[in-house]
């Protein structure tokens, strides 16, 4: 829970103020990416009182730890997102707005969670041209750990594998 008391805003439509968030959010992640539990998420959010509720917008920053989808190496990379969400006083059932509680407070955590989860790449790569692991020996091709001979795809070419280069000269 990142609870913010907004009673001062609710009573004054048109009013606004900023809140600074600097908190770790637990359990943020998927199989190949996670926000480390000890890495806080930082946000400088503008809260604006509008007719429908409270509008929250601003940058959201943090760091995410990934496992490369090809070579499985772990690496960290910062993220910088922009959020803009309405916390509605009256939410329709099934609407995807966040809720402004009747007691005049909002919980920023679900919004932070949704924004970060949506930003996670489907297939994180340590570098765009990662060579990945060898399917046969499991060696990391980026490190030259794989010394497997080139795969022979077509059996008709397999016989060429027996010809030594000396024979050709």
Pick between residue 19 and residue 130 the one whose CB is nearest to Zn ion.
Answer: 130
Query: Which backbone phi and psi does 159 adopt, to 5 degrees?
Result: -60, -30
Contacts of 37 (CB under 8 A, 6+ apart): 24, 26
Pick between residue 14 and residue 128 the one whose CB is nearest to Zn ion.
Answer: 128
Pick between residue 29 and residue 139 the one whose CB is nearest to Zn ion.
Answer: 139
Distance CA 118, CA 71 (A): 23
Kindly state the DSSP code that residue 147 receives in the 8-state scheme. -
Pick between residue 77 and residue 136 the one whose CB is nearest to Zn ion.
Answer: 136
Work out how close the CB of 54 gets to Zn ion at its nearest, in angstroms, rounded to a whole number.
42
Token output for 86? 């309405």
Distance CA 32, CA 68 (A): 7
Work out how close the CB of 138 gets to Zn ion at its nearest, in angstroms, rounded to a whole number.
7
Work out how close the CB of 77 gets to Zn ion at its nearest, in angstroms, rounded to a whole number.
13
Q: How does strand 3-5 pair with strand 98-99?
A: unpaired
Work out how close the CB of 168 gets to Zn ion at its nearest, in angstroms, rounded to a whole number.
26
Distance CA 59, CA 44 (A): 6
CB 27 within 8 A of CB 111: no
Pick between residue 19 and residue 134 the one whose CB is nearest to Zn ion.
Answer: 134
Question: Which residues are at the interface with Zn ion (CB under 5 A)?
Answer: 68, 70-71, 126, 130, 134, 136-137, 139, 146, 148
Work out how close the CB of 132 gets to Zn ion at its nearest, in angstroms, rounded to a whole number.
6
């Amino acid at each position: 829970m990142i609870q913010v008391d907004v009673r001062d805003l609710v009573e004054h439509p048109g009013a606004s103020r900023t809140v600074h968030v600097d908190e770790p959010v637990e359990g943020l992640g998927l199989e190949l990416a996670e926000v480390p539990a000890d890495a806080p998420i930082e946000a400088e959010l503008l809260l604006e009182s509008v007719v429908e509720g409270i509008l929250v917008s601003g940058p959201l920053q943090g760091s995410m730890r990934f496992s490369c989808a090809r070579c499985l190496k772990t690496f960290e990379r910062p993220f910088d997102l922009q959020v803009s969400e309405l916390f509605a006083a009256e939410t329709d059932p099934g609407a995807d707005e966040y809720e402004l509680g009747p007691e005049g407070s909002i919980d920023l955590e679900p919004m932070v969670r949704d924004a970060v989860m949506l930003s996670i790449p489907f297939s994180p790569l340590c570098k765009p041209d990662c060579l990945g692991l060898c399917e046969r020996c499991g060696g990391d091709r980026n490190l030259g750990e794989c010394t497997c001979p080139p795969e022979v795809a077509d059996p008709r070419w397999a016989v060429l594998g027996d010809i030594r280069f000396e024979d050709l000269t």
